[in-house]
Amino acid sequence: MALAESNSALSLRYSRRSLRRAARAFRCSPFRLTLLANMRSRSISIRQVCGPGGLTSGYSRRSLAELQAENEMMWLIAVGLLRREVDGQGLTDSFRLTPLGRQVFEQLHPLSPAQYRPTLVDHLYNAWCRWVRLPYGIGL
């Protein structure tokens, strides 16, 4: 990861490998791009993502139990897409995008859902990475 100066703002550059891995993790998740789009400007509570509310708001592809949604979000934290929101009392049940998450959103946003649909190989590789829990930066 390198720092780069662009338009008077400091931005982060991630390796292609990191961007591919993060994009694959999101594409294999049960979430829709609407979730990332809304997380760019505000934090989203786990309660907004799980159950029928997640379907209604367009955040998930299927109704998720709270524990399922939490596990999926924790994987997206592990690959660097999301971070947990913190308030004065400590961690909350809300999540936000990281700079890597913003770059992945910008990469996937112009594509149609059919274009970023994961392949069987994507699902298998993502499942293997989750099972093995490769450290950040290792993997394809």
pLDDT for 135 = 53
Please list, in sequence order, all residues whose beta carbon lies within 8 angstroms of the beta carbon of residue 123, skipping any fewer than 6 positions away.
28
Residue 15 belongs to some domain of the structure = no
SS3 20: helix
pLDDT for 30 = 94
**90: containing domain:** 24-132
CATH, residue 81: 1.10.10.10
Residue 55 belongs to some domain of the structure = yes
pLDDT for 134 = 53
DSSP structure class, residue 118: P
Residue 115 belongs to some domain of the structure = yes
Residue 70 belongs to some domain of the structure = yes
Residue 45 belongs to some domain of the structure = yes
pLDDT for 13 = 81
Residue 60 belongs to some domain of the structure = yes
Are residues 96 and 39 in contact, defined by beta-carbon separation less than 8 angstroms?
A: yes
Query: In the chain, which ranges are E strands?
Result: 2-6, 9-13, 44-45, 82-87, 90-97
Residue 52 belongs to some domain of the structure = yes
The dihedral of CA 108, 129, 59, 100: what is its sign? negative
Residue 106 belongs to some domain of the structure = yes
Q: Which two tokens stand for residue 70?
A: 């939490």
Count of CB atoms situated within 10 Å of the CB of 15: 11
Series of mean pLDDT values for 10-residue runs along the chain (140 residues): 44 84 94 93 92 91 92 93 84 88 93 88 91 60
pLDDT for 45 = 92
Domains in the chain: how many in total? Answer: 1
